[in-house]
Amino acid sequence: MQGDERNTRGPTRQTYAGPLAVGYDLMTIAISDTIETYLRKILGDK
């Protein structure tokens, strides 16, 4: 978990208990009947 994510999740969870995803640079968000998130892959990732 990155520093910015910790700073976002903590205060959000004080008042919101639902699904939560923190966005990252070049993250893909697919919205249809469901919502799915995918982290960016770089050439060295498998």
pLDDT score recorded for residue 5 = 77
Mean pLDDT of 3-12: 81
- Alpha-helical (H) ranges within 3-44 are 3-13
Beta strands in 1-46 (DSSP E): 28-31, 35-38
19-45: per-residue pLDDT in tens?
888 887 888 899 999 999 988 777 666
* Gap between the Cα atoms of 20 and 10, Å rounded: 11
pLDDT score recorded for residue 9 = 86
Residue 1 has pLDDT above 70, yes or no: no
Residue type, 23: G
Q: Give CA angle at 24 (30, 20), nearest 5°.
A: 65
pTM of the model: 0.53
Residue 2 has pLDDT above 80, yes or no: no
35: helix, coil or strand?
Answer: strand
Q: What are the residue boundaries of the structural domains of the chain, listed by start? A: 3-38
